[in-house]
Amino acid sequence: MNDSEKALKKKRAVHAIMLVVLVILFFLFVSPFLLVVINVFKTKADITSNPLALIGKHGFTTKNFPEAMRKMDFWRVFFNSVVITISATVLTIIFSSMASFVIVRNKWKACTLLFSLMVASMVIPFQVLMVPLVSVYGGIVGVLNHRLTLVLLHTGFSVSMATFMFHGAIHTNIPIELEEAAFIDGCTRWQTFWKIVFPLLKPTIATITIIDAMAFWNDYLLPSLVLQKKELYTIPIATQSFYGTYSTDIGLVMAALLLAMLPILILYLFLQRYIVKGVTSGAVKG
């Protein structure tokens, strides 16, 4: 066996080992979701006795879904989650993309300072702001228990990361010559942004949509602090109603979790082809 055959054999062995490792990691990441899907069609007794069985002793059942939807008032909390998630995501994209465009195309010291403050704010954990947030907005201003308050808070906490990503995408992938040509043709700065720059940011927009929509949809802590009226609950807060002091109906919890996951999974499958492209377009070249 010559050296080239040995090198080829070694390369194939490395690829085989990498494939095995990737398959193992894949099943480790997917296993919680598979457990939810398997157990959602079982009774509480079957889940408790043998959660790893594909079919329980009492057979296949779909009773968990209607009971979970009734108990959590699914359509109301679903509407609240959709309104809050879409509104906050759209506002984040609009404000952060416009801010990034101004920061990139203007060499003002104020722009540099603002961008530096945004980047610095990304390292501040939300838990640090929890108590002042509730004290100010609840005790002094009195604007808790409103969807708009939660939407604006979501937008404020996420706009820094989105601005950072849009900043890299505009700086790296959108040549200023396109904007100069638009100015020559008579476009204003406003028209240039919406007709030239914004359409070229689709990959980054898709990436930010996925990241922020997942964060807003699955967030429990901030809505639990802002929304205290039952008619304003989002899906994560409503899911908490299935956890009792002495007992928990695992079947209903699984059904509620699956119902909560489906919309965001559909959104991810629809936009996932843009994710890698969006992340790489935001990388600033050295």
**Residue 275 pLDDT more than 80?**
no
8 A C-beta contact, residue 37 and residue 62: no
Same-domain status, 32 and 78: no
- The span from the CA of 47 to the CA of 39, in Å, is 6
Does residue 262 fall inside a structural domain?
yes
CB atoms within 10 A of CB 18: 10
User: Do 124 and 176 share a domain, yes or no?
Assistant: yes
Same domain, 35 and 124: no
CATH number, position 102: 1.10.3720.10
pLDDT interval class at 278 (50, 70, 90): low
pLDDT digits (tens, 9 = 90+) for 66-98: 888 888 888 999 999 999 999 999 999 999 999
Asked if 172 and 199 touch (Cβ cutoff 8 Å), the reply is no
**And the tokens for 105?**
């195309």
Residue 279 reports pLDDT greater than 60? no
Residue 285 has pLDDT above 50, yes or no: no
Residue 247: the pLDDT is: 57
Structural domain contains residue 52? no
Non-local CB neighbours of 119 within 8 Å, separated by 6+ positions? 160, 164
- Does 16 map to a domain? yes
The reply to whether 151 and 238 lie within a common domain is yes
Residue 277, pLDDT > 80, answer: no
Query: Mean per-residue pLDDT for 182-210?
Result: 87
Q: Is 35 found in the same domain as 91? A: no
d(CA 239, CA 175): 48
Residues 179, 237 within the same domain: yes
Based on the domain organization, do 78 and 206 belong to the same domain? yes
- 8-38 pLDDT per residue, tens: 788 888 899 999 999 999 988 888 888 888 8
140 and 182 fall within a common domain: yes
In the chain, the number of structural domains is: 2
Same domain, 26 and 117: no
pLDDT of residue 50: 79
Convert the pLDDT of each residue in 241-273 to its tens digit.
777 654 567 788 888 888 888 888 888 777 777
What is the rounded average pLDDT of the residues 109-126? 87
What is the distance between the alpha carbons of residues 27 and 147, in angstroms, rounded to a whole number? 38
In which domain, by residue range, is 21 found?
3-39
Specify if 60 maps to a domain: no
CA distances from 75 to 72, 85, 228, 261, 264 (A): 9, 15, 18, 15, 16
| Contact between 78 and 235 (Cβ < 8 Å) | yes
pLDDT of 280 higher than 60: no
Residue 49 lies in a domain: no
For residue 250, count other CB atoms closer than 10 A to its CB. Answer: 20
As a whole number, the mean pLDDT across the chain is 83
Tell me, yes or no, whether 252 and 173 share the same domain.
yes
Say if residue 11 is in the same domain as residue 126: no
With respect to residue 57, please indicate whether it lies within any of the assigned structural domains: no
Residue 132 and residue 213 share a domain: yes
The strand pairing partners of 248, in sequence order, are 243
Sign of CA dihedral 14, 16, 19, 25: negative
Quick check: helix, strand or coil at residue 243?
strand
Side-chain-side CA neighbours of residue 135 (13 Å): 5
